[in-house]
């Protein structure tokens, strides 16, 4: 096992305890993978067959609605990446996951993930906590879409991902916030007019 798995192992260890045997097992079940900018982790219509762990790079999750892309999430360093709906049900994806930077990851197949769940000391617990986290995150997004204006959502995005904003285009941010790039630009213009340091004062 000669891959730099430390980030992956530390991320898992942050969720459940791991011993020597566990870390060895992880090394045998995951394999390195890489995506170039624009490559797909999984595309709408395919069945998502593996879970990834992003060592370096950046991906976006989106749905394609008549050529109009709606980004609903990003995956960055030390994130797990998967269309869980497709992976769990083995049904075709309704979404696409695409690298927007060159990315290096470790991937684990469905079969190996099952082994991880059963053979890792806290495997089942790990699996449950991860899906739980994803569920909570999704519900948070859902509530935010109901309750927050685009302006607030943009502010929350900046607060939640302060470094990400500089790595992606306004197009991506606008799509995530739920508006067109022109509208996001106008929101920024509005802020510039009345308030020069947004980061520290979300009004």
Partner DNA sequence: CGTTCAGTTGACTAAGGTCAATTCCCGTGG
Partner DNA sequence: CCACGGGAATTGACCTTAGTCAACTGAACG
Q: Which residues bind DNA (CB under 7 A)?
A: 149-151, 169-171, 178-189
**Which residue, 10 or 132, is less far from its own copies as judged by CB?**
132
Shortest separation between residue 76's beta carbon and DNA, angstroms: 18
Residue 196 binding result from DNA, its own copies, none, given CB thresholds of 5 to 8 Å by partner type: none
Q: Minimum distance between the CB of residue 51 and DNA, rounded to whole angstroms?
A: 29
Query: Which one of DNA, its own copies, none interacts with residue 181, CB within 5 to 8 A by kind?
Result: DNA
Residue 30: φ, ψ to 5°: -95, 150
- With respect to DNA, which residue has the nearer C-beta, 113 or 174? 174
In angstroms, rounded to a whole number, what is the distance separating the alpha carbons of residues 155 and 6? 33
Partner from its own copies, DNA, none binding residue 185, C-beta < 5-8 Å depending on class: DNA
Tell me how far, at minimum, the Cβ of 174 lies from its own copies, in Å: 12
Query: Measured from the CB atom, is 9 or 47 closer to its own copies?
Result: 47
CB of 90 vs its own copies, minimal distance in Å: 11
Query: Is there a contact between 74 and 26 (Cβ–Cβ < 8 Å)?
Result: no
If one counts every other C-beta atom within 10 angstroms of the C-beta of residue 36, the result is 10
CB 119 within 8 A of CB 112: no
DSSP string over 52-108: EEEEE-EEEEEEEETTEEEEEEEEETT-EE--HHHHHHTPBPSSEEEESS-EEEEEE
């Amino acid at each position: 096992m000669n891959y730099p798995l430390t980030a992956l192992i530390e991320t898992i260890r942050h969720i459940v305890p791991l011993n020597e045997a566990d870390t060895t097992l992880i090394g045998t079940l995951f394999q390195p993978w890489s995506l170039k900018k624009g490559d797909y982790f999984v595309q709408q219509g395919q069945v998502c067959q593996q879970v990834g762990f992003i060592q370096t790079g950046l991906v976006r999750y989106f749905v394609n609605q008549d050529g109009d892309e709606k980004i609903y999430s990003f995956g960055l360093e030390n994130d797990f990446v998967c269309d869980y709906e497709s992976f769990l049900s083995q049904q075709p994806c309704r979404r696409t996951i695409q690298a927007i930077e060159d990315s290096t990851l470790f991937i684990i197949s469905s079969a190996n993930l099952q082994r991880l769940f059963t053979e890792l000391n806290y495997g089942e617990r790990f699996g449950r906590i991860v899906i739980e986290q994803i569920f909570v995150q999704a519900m948070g997004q859902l509530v935010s879409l109901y309750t927050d204006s685009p302006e607030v959502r943009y502010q929350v995005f900046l607060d939640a991902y302060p470094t990400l904003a500089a790595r992606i285009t306004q197009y991506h941010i606008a799509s995530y916030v739920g508006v067109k790039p022109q509208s996001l630009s106008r929101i920024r213009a509005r802020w510039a007019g009345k308030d020069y340091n947004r980061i520290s004062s979300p009004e």
